[in-house]
Structure 1
Amino acid sequence: METLINIDNGGTLTDICVWDGTELSFTKTLTTPHDLSECLFAGIEKASAKLYGDADLTRLLHQAQHIRYSTTQGTNALVERKGPMIGVVTTIADLADRMVTTPAAEKLRNGVIGDRFLVVDPNSADLEFDAVQLVNRLTTLGAARVVIVGSDPDQEHTLRHILLRKFPRHLLGSVPLIYSWELAGDRDAARRTWSCVINAFLHPTMERFLYGAERRLKEYKVANPLLVYRNDGASSRVAKSIALKTYSSGPRGGLEGTAALAKVYGLRHALMMDIGGTTTDVGVVGDNQVLVRERGAIEGVDISYAMSDVGSTGVGGSSVIEVVDGRITVGPQSVGAAPGPACFGFGGKQATITDVNLLLGVLDPDTYLDGTFTLDPERSRAVITETVARPLGVSLEEALVRMENAYFTALAGAFERWVEPDTTLLAFGGAGPMSAAGAARLAGVRRVLIPRTAAVFSAFGIAFSDIGKTYEVILNEATPAAATQAYAGLAARAERDMFQEGYALTDCDTDWQLVLENLDDGSASRIPYTDGDEVEYPGHALSLELTVTARLPHPELDADRAVTVAAAPSSGTRAVRSSAERVDEVAVHVLDDLSPGHVGEGPAIIEGPFFTARVLPGWYFQVTAAGDLLLSDHH
């Protein structure tokens, strides 16, 4: 039983990629915001039809070793501020000032915490009375969850002892209390508090859906667990995951896929551009390694956990393109999957790049999503005329060209700061292949790689995930004895957690690192650690870190090789507008009908599995040995 189901749930579409131990197969389905489990099971059923010829959901579920799941729902909940009000009680008098040092931090505080931030004196003779009064006050102000922050674990332990007696968990309506040192062993109180606040905000959204999905799986008598894919590239059971680590997990899947292809093609500097329905996510793989920040950041505030360095911009396939103060703007507002672009026919009244590409001729209304969805050009024409052409006082044709240029410019702005002379842009996501060449040229990138799995590439990247845990504990004393005690504690935690994941610790890979945090500048470095090693490093604060990994099967990708070059056959032509005055008959190629080594030049359209790639004039394309598309700019 080596079948692994990998799912990336986005705001507009949900992608499913299945590895059966030999081959990958994939499909897509529309996201159902009203009930996410609906699109989850609909997608798995569609995948079973591709595998077996006829849909057999139960068979695929029972053959799966694991279902690994990534979702943007937590990310979207934070962006849209759809979560519980959070309160904070702290013993640190200046913590509020330390947490809010930038406009971004102030914006996040106003949206999530507001005025629900209170300080208690840990040395008060009436500490018990004060603590209870403050929690009561926060709940009166609307706090549905309260984060407790002490300057050290002992202060939090004291508060816990008080609050558990005064607010027993078994009472109806009891407010969850989150203790900062439990979630994050981080000396920096601001990072630690932000980590708890964001986690508390995301938790209800993730909990409702993920446990709901698990319950539905049990109805099919599925014994193997649903795994949550995390933003550190590993996966774990729902009950062993924290909500904070689901944030930006989809982009991490894209980065892992980028790293896999960077190795295949020998790319030193690979830049991913993942264009979804709502955002474009950009990240870097250098020398086959995903670029990771020691301390991640969410919405401009630092947190206690490492995260891949991903930049997100509100430009996607469903981003609204409109006229504001006489000029065309792109995003950040998105129409999502419901109502979606106007051409979807679900009542959308705002224009998107999907509508633009349909009227330009780039998209065929009858072959969208491999023919599983028909687009309505008349709806696009009406919306663009009303919202863009008339406000600008230009023809529909001129409006389309300007809207496309605005979209290319917005995309280029999303990634141009990461560009180096030898950068290769990996373009994927539903809208990536359509716009990659136009954006790359503006940003000075001359080579674009479009994976054959571009439409489901983040789900493809999840296929390289293992089950894993990372633990970190602060060493208050720089002595071998203190390190040995911490070592034993982490080993015991790891043994318990991996047993609950279904693995013995002795069957897992373990990596022990001593984390050295520079007391002057806060930078951190790591050195391998063995129990009993010396741990005295003057000028550094010390932590012990353990990473445990239970290996799962991964797709095996062969290195790129030279192939015989031949002209790519076309399946026909399509009328594509290149300017307000000009429409060209452009060759159309079907990627599944092409062979490794087939080449061609723009202008051209290449229809891939669930995506359409646009090759602009001056660009050349070649099908690689693995069946991917490599575009090069000869302009």
Structure 2
Amino acid sequence: MAFQINIDNGGTLTDVCIMSDEGVKKTKVLTTPYDLSKCFFEGLQKASETLYGAEDVKRLLEEVELIRYSTTQGTNAICERKGPKLGLILDQAATDLAEALRAHDPDVYDALVGDRVAYIDAAILDAPEAEVEIVKTINELTAKGANRLVVSFGGTGFHANEDKVKKVVLRKYPRHLLGAVPVLYASDLTVDRAPERRAWSALINAFLHTSMEAFLFQAENRLRDYRTKNPLLIFRNDGDASRVAKTVAIKTYSSGPRGGMEGMRGFANMYGFRDAVSIDVGGTTTDIGQCTDGKVAEIRRGHVEGISVSFPLCEISSAGAGGSSVFKAKDGAIAIGPESVGALPGPACFGRGGKEATITDASLLSGLLDPGSYFGGGMGLDAARAEAAVMANVGTPLGLDLDQTVQAMSDAFETKIAAELHRFTTISADTVLMAFGGAGPLNACGVADKAGIKRVAIPAMAAVFSAYGIGSCNVSQNYAVDLAEHTSEALKSTLDSLRQKAARDMFAEGFEEGSYAVSARLVAQSGDRETVHELNGSESFPAEMAGADAVELELSAVKSLRKGEAKQVAVSRKAAAKADGTRNVLVPEQGRIDLPVYRLNTMQPGDFAAGPAILEEDYFTARIPAGWTFTVSEAGDVILDREE
């Protein structure tokens, strides 16, 4: 049986989706932040148990066709400001650049760089004193605590000047010595001529690179021990994948959420949703995106934490509020995040030593979560620990009793996510809210009410939807070079060079030349205006671009693995759903009452029911408030409508 495994590593849980011709299966494991390769292989172990009924990783890795991996590690690292201390070396002629970079986001800049900035006069790089000046600058930054350096020069000769610095650094700090200093040169990463974008791209990449490199190569090496026939593929924010050695760290930023957006695009097409917004609620963040007319928003110069960078990225916004985000009393109100308890120690109710309050603790105390069925029945929940954390951090400081505290935490969470939806997306009367991630469905209707949205969709694969979404990705390699001469001869020569590079890289991915598609385009920059010209096989330089300030040649090699779009799915009410039991739940304005509990696994297409109620699946729970009705679609997904 040929099958594919998709793994989405989150801050608290790691999701595993197993796809084959016989259907889709899923499982989850706790993320192990101290060693991500541990939860990676625990995910493979549980996948083998799911497939074979007993753990057999060796057989799994012999039979698997593809393993795709995405991670929110980069997103969480930026959100929580956890990473190496960077030193930044700039051209002395651009002394205002550091302040311009800081102006984009003072908090992120101070967390990554702070006062670890130094300047080198590009005019002396050809002089004998260049070595002394460069060594002095590096020593100054490392003495301030920098353990990784970024060199980003400005001006038209930035690439040549950075190369001169590189030669000195390699000579004075050779890589075979323990005293070697890791240095990233912005021109090695991007040819973007905008100095602020280029510098920020290099800083963010350097911030993410170290931990991702260590984990991903370790995971790949462990796979080699099992003689896995295909390399581990890393899913990127541009919607495609590549092997570890050919993946740039910054392109993994929000790659997990991008998987959710790919799933969202297919889901919206199946149900004919013209406008859909999403909340992907994980442990550390809630990722928000929008899909309009079947298209996911992506821009050529993407954003990380609102900061413009040089690479195309999907427009996904991450709010620092998730199932493991810390709730606390502050100035007489409830503050949420951006700190997270992660998987270790996790929410207090996990019983792993956590003492902070989280929405997971509040949901347990409100009666929404069943300690016996949570996490597929694989994790017991401790209500006493949850109550102690909730009251100590929120209830007692605000003078609230337990029920008031739990309700206030739920309201604060829903209000924050609704506000973030309005901040990052455009909501209209036609907007559908898609809720996924392990905690996405839980408060989805409450968020929709506060955001003014009348329809909510919960995919049957909601709990592992990002892992499910990356199952449709292609394998690709992308290149961008600055075209020094604006002539057809220069264009042809550069195209030939890039095609050869693409052929080598795609062969390393396992694809022979001719088995993948190659496309190229020119992007001309004149002032602040960019013009795109698709080459479509032509090797002639367009005359209208001859006078441009700069022209980049972009080439893409893509091996398509995507299947055709799914058929349209109908939603119609056929029979009243039968509840599997009741649960005593805290309901606004009604207190604690018994609510019917519906199990999605036992329901049939066309089954429907009205709130207030609880809807459950092995790995997610959804509160259905009064005024909402849900219907199970032909595909087993859940569509909820606000009754007028």
Structure 2 counterparts to residues 306-455 of structure 1, below 5 A: 306-417=312-423, 418=425, 419-455=427-463
Structure 2 counterparts to residues 581-600 of structure 1, below 5 A: 582-600=591-609
Q: Structure 1 residues 381, 580: CA separation in 2 closer, same or farther (over 3 Å shift)?
A: farther
CA contact (8 A) 1:605 1:615 kept: yes
What one-letter code is carried by the residue in structure 1 that aligns with 2:79?
V
Q: For the residues of structure 1 that align with 2:377 and 2:116, how far apart are their CA atoms? A: 51
Structure 2 counterparts to residues 114-129 of structure 1, below 5 A: 114-124=114-124, 125=127, 126-129=129-132
Aligned to 1:220: 226
Q: For the residues of structure 2 that align with 1:581 and 1:263, how far apart are their CA atoms? A: 39
Aligned to 1:609: 618
Note the alpha carbon deviations across 1:397-425, whole angstroms, 9 max, x for none: 22222221111111111212311221111
Q: For the residues of structure 2 that align with 1:624 and 1:532, how far apart are their CA atoms? A: 50
Deviation of 1:221 (Å): 2.4
Aligned mate of 1:542, from 543, 551, 559: 551
Deviation of 1:82 (Å): 3.4
Structure 2 counterparts to residues 475-624 of structure 1, below 5 A: 475-517=483-525, 519-523=526-530, 525-536=532-543, 537=545, 538=547, 541-552=550-561, 554=563, 557-561=566-570, 563=572, 565-579=574-588, 582-624=591-633
TM-score by length of 2: 0.94
Deviation of 1:142 (Å): 3.2
Aligned to 1:191: 197
TM-score by length of 1: 0.95
CA contact (8 A) 1:397 1:580 kept: no
Q: For the residues of structure 1 that align with 2:468 and 2:281, how far apart are their CA atoms? A: 15
Aligned to 1:146: 149
- Which ranges of structure 1 fall in alignment gaps of 5 or more residues? none
Say which SS state the counterpart of residue 434 (structure 1) adopts: coil
Q: For the residues of structure 1 that align with 2:180 and 2:407, how far apart are their CA atoms? A: 57
Aligned to 2:61: 61
CA contact (8 A) 2:629 2:643 kept: yes
Deviation of 1:374 (Å): 1.5
What one-letter code is carried by the residue in structure 1 that aligns with 2:319?
T
CA contact (8 A) 2:278 2:289 kept: yes
Deviation of 1:561 (Å): 2.8
Q: For the residues of structure 2 that align with 1:181 and 1:5, how far apart are their CA atoms? A: 36
Say which SS state the counterpart of residue 514 (structure 2) adopts: helix
CA contact (8 A) 1:450 1:628 kept: yes
Deviation of 1:540 (Å): 6.2
Structure 2 counterparts to residues 295-314 of structure 1, below 5 A: 295-314=301-320
Identical columns (%):
44
Q: Structure 1 residues 269, 541: CA separation in 2 closer, same or farther (over 3 Å shift)?
A: farther
Deviation of 1:457 (Å): 0.7
Q: Structure 1 residues 595, 194: CA separation in 2 closer, same or farther (over 3 Å shift)?
A: same
What one-letter code is carried by the residue in structure 2 that aligns with 1:527?
E
- Which ranges of structure 2 fall in alignment gaps of 5 or more residues? none
Q: For the residues of structure 2 that align with 1:584 and 1:600, how far apart are their CA atoms? A: 18
Q: For the residues of structure 1 that align with 2:513 and 2:354, how far apart are their CA atoms? A: 52
Say which SS state the counterpart of residue 505 (structure 1) adopts: coil
Note the alpha carbon deviations across 1:48-87, whole angstroms, 9 max, x for none: 1111222222111111122111122233333344333322
**Are 2:281 and 1:275 equivalent residues in the alignment?**
yes
Deviation of 1:250 (Å): 0.8
Deviation of 1:553 (Å): 5.7
CA contact (8 A) 1:335 1:350 kept: yes
CA contact (8 A) 1:256 1:462 kept: yes
Q: Structure 1 residues 158, 400: CA separation in 2 closer, same or farther (over 3 Å shift)?
A: closer
Name the stretch that deviates more: 349-358 or 8-17.
349-358
**Are 2:136 and 1:133 equivalent residues in the alignment?**
yes
Q: Structure 1 residues 136, 327: CA separation in 2 closer, same or farther (over 3 Å shift)?
A: closer
Aligned to 1:17: 17
Deviation of 1:246 (Å): 1.4
What one-letter code is carried by the residue in structure 2 that aligns with 1:439?
V
Q: Structure 1 residues 132, 116: CA separation in 2 closer, same or farther (over 3 Å shift)?
A: same
Q: Once superposed, what is the RMSD of the aligned Cα atoms?
A: 2.1
What one-letter code is carried by the residue in structure 2 that aligns with 1:71?
T
What one-letter code is carried by the residue in structure 1 that aligns with 2:473?
S
**Are 2:249 and 1:243 equivalent residues in the alignment?**
yes
Q: Structure 1 residues 88, 356: CA separation in 2 closer, same or farther (over 3 Å shift)?
A: closer
Q: Structure 1 residues 387, 489: CA separation in 2 closer, same or farther (over 3 Å shift)?
A: same
Note the alpha carbon deviations across 1:538-585, whole angstroms, 9 max, x for none: 556321111211123659733213556211121122222213652222
What one-letter code is carried by the residue in structure 1 that aligns with 2:616?
E
CA contact (8 A) 2:85 2:113 kept: yes
Q: Structure 1 residues 323, 86: CA separation in 2 closer, same or farther (over 3 Å shift)?
A: closer
Say which SS state the counterpart of residue 394 (structure 1) adopts: coil
Say which SS state the counterpart of residue 122 (structure 2) adopts: coil
Name the stretch that deviates more: 166-175 or 39-48.
166-175
Q: For the residues of structure 2 that align with 1:554 and 1:225, how far apart are their CA atoms? A: 21
Q: How many residues align?
A: 634
CA contact (8 A) 1:292 1:309 kept: yes
Name the stretch that deviates more: 170-179 or 315-324.
170-179
What one-letter code is carried by the residue in structure 1 that aligns with 2:19?
W
Q: For the residues of structure 1 that align with 2:485 and 2:434, how far apart are their CA atoms? A: 46
Deviation of 1:148 (Å): 2.6
Q: For the residues of structure 1 that align with 2:402 and 2:134, how far apart are their CA atoms? A: 64
Say which SS state the counterpart of residue 143 (structure 1) adopts: coil
CA contact (8 A) 2:102 2:109 kept: no
CA contact (8 A) 2:26 2:464 kept: yes
Q: For the residues of structure 1 that align with 2:570 and 2:589, how far apart are their CA atoms? A: 42
Aligned to 2:48: 48
Q: For the residues of structure 1 that align with 2:337 and 2:330, how far apart are their CA atoms? A: 11
Note the alpha carbon deviations across 1:418-464, whole angstroms, 9 max, x for none: 11221111101111111000011111111110000111111111111
Q: For the residues of structure 2 that align with 1:411 and 1:65, how far apart are their CA atoms? A: 38
Note the alpha carbon deviations across 1:336-386, whole angstroms, 9 max, x for none: 111211211112212211111112211111110121111122222232233
Name the stretch that deviates more: 611-620 or 316-325.
316-325
Aligned to 1:8: 8
Q: For the residues of structure 1 that align with 2:16 and 2:504, how far apart are their CA atoms? A: 31
Q: Structure 1 residues 79, 384: CA separation in 2 closer, same or farther (over 3 Å shift)?
A: closer
Deviation of 1:88 (Å): 2.8
Deviation of 1:588 (Å): 1.1
Q: For the residues of structure 1 that align with 2:207 and 2:96, how far apart are their CA atoms? A: 18
What one-letter code is carried by the residue in structure 2 that aligns with 1:132?
V
Q: For the residues of structure 2 that align with 1:161 and 1:381, how far apart are their CA atoms? A: 60
CA contact (8 A) 2:81 2:108 kept: no
Q: For the residues of structure 2 that align with 1:502 and 1:208, how far apart are their CA atoms? A: 23
What one-letter code is carried by the residue in structure 1 that aligns with 2:149?
V
Q: Structure 1 residues 339, 439: CA separation in 2 closer, same or farther (over 3 Å shift)?
A: same
Deviation of 1:219 (Å): 2.4
Name the stretch that deviates more: 264-273 or 324-333.
324-333
Structure 2 counterparts to residues 35-184 of structure 1, below 5 A: 35-91=35-91, 93-94=93-94, 96-97=96-97, 100=100, 103-124=103-124, 125=127, 126-150=129-153, 151=155, 152=157, 153-184=159-190
